[in-house]
Structure 1
């Protein structure tokens, strides 16, 4: 097993706690509604032009491409070429995950650099992939992704360890999560997030190029119209 390199002790990553249980309870209560919106709600009208830009959307932990349908349809309608990640349900990091993403790029005929949009764990994976294959990535946009602070500064790590079969701080690949990829990065976070601590998704100075607060729950990052519009603007910024 490899290890995750944490921020230096002076950054006090250990003092960032997971969101309070009252926020997690709201996430659970709205889970079915939000997932239904993410899959079946109509596309959101966007105020930008995609001009054929390639976009790959990576789902969150235990989610699949079905959960990013509204986001991708909205981008397609605005002239982007939006792709799912094509790897089924996101069950966590595996030793060959980045090679699988490479193969999906080839299957989708993506020749030039693409924007990676990653929700939650999908954003962490997108950042790490961009470090390994920067020639294939134009920019990375994360949505409530825990790339900063301690990997247990969230309410999902216990379930993650059970499903993925490894500790969150002992994955099968080397990773320095807080280290910024060598491409432009945009981090979206929310104070209403009941799964990932806002500070963990926002990051510290130097860990992303731009950090923006959205007013939505964790589950709504890929369904809320304003969040989808914010993503589209970040792609063309």
Structure 2
């Protein structure tokens, strides 16, 4: 029998099996094209998108394509596959951020998927003068190092122990810029409890019904991203999930646990 999942353990095998939904969610992305045309348009500021562990810029192409359609200057990280904080990676990300900010002479919004979101938050912490906002997608910045199904692979590929992150407690604190954590309770790769942002005047959580591997192209995720990025600089407000159709798509992220996911 499958052991119960929780904030200190990886998601259940049932949820891991449901990660196959990501293929259907990619199809939903293309099918929802006409609907996504109604997503808020942007002001043209640059956006840096960081891929998840083991993935490259290829995985974020649908997201960047959507962002460009909404008027943003979307960029990949151009560092190949994300194999963790290996030598030179963090320095190269900072240089990439500095180049984009200097090229457009504007602050950069940073979106990170899974491990990419952990990097995004640290970029904002290191260079708050260059970062406009941070959005994370299923990023376990506040969770236990082994509360996911990828920690063994991470240790093999990165050459580091899963719990070998300096100042882990500091990582749980919101970065010094507006931040949004998008998560799914049906995430089959990382424990969703570790993907939650501490609430503050400039930080929030948005819940969606998605697989972990589909977060970067799920229509509900993309709409929420567009809504967050479209806010005027310096006028950040929490996501409004209560108005109109949104109440049926975006559930209350503070509700009690215990709901079993429906099969895709």
Report TM bin, short chain.
0.7 to 0.9
**Equivalences for 1:121-200 in 2 at 5 Å?**
121-171=115-165, 175=168, 176-200=170-194
Equivalence for 2:42:
50
Q: Aligned partners of 1:73, 1:95: CA distance in 2, in Å?
A: 30
Query: Higher relative CO (CA 8 A, sep ≥ 6), structure 1 or 2?
Result: 1
Paired position in structure 1 for 2:57: 65
TM-score (norm 1): 0.84
- CA deviation after TM superposition for structure 1 residue 98, in Å: 2.5
Contact 1:115–1:140 (CA under 8 A) maintained in structure 2: yes
Q: Normalised by the size of structure 2, how large is the TM-score?
A: 0.76
Question: Are positions 1:83 and 2:75 aligned together?
Answer: yes
User: How far off its partner does 1:46 sit?
Assistant: 4.4
List alignment gaps of at least 5 residues for structure 2: 1-5, 232-264
Give 1:174 shift: 5.1
**CA offset at residue 24 of structure 1?**
0.8
Alignment of 1:221 with 2:215, yes or no, is yes
Output the CA distance in 2 between the equivalents of 1:116 and 1:82.
10
Number of corresponding residues? 221
Q: Distance in 2 between matches of 1:130 and 1:106?
A: 12
Q: Which runs of 5+ in 1 are unaligned?
A: 1-13
> After alignment, is 92-101 or 113-122 more displaced?
92-101
Aligned partner of residue 183 in structure 1, secondary structure: coil
- The higher radius of gyration belongs to 2
The alignment partner of 1:102 has SS state of helix
SS of residue in 1 equivalent to 2:171: coil
Q: Flag the 1:139–1:177 CA change in 2: closer, same or farther, 3 A.
A: same
Determine which of 62, 79, 92 is the counterpart of 2:84.
92
Give the match's secondary structure for 2:120: helix
- Output one character per residue of 1:185-223: Cα deviation in whole Å (capped at 9) or x when no partner: 100110110011111012444597101101111011111
C-alpha spacing 1:62/1:110, structure 2 compared with 1 (3 Å): farther
For residue 211 of structure 1, what is the aligned residue in structure 2? 205
Q: CA RMSD in A?
A: 2.6
**1:76-112 CA-partner distances (Å, limit 9, x unpaired):** 1111111111111111112432320122234442432
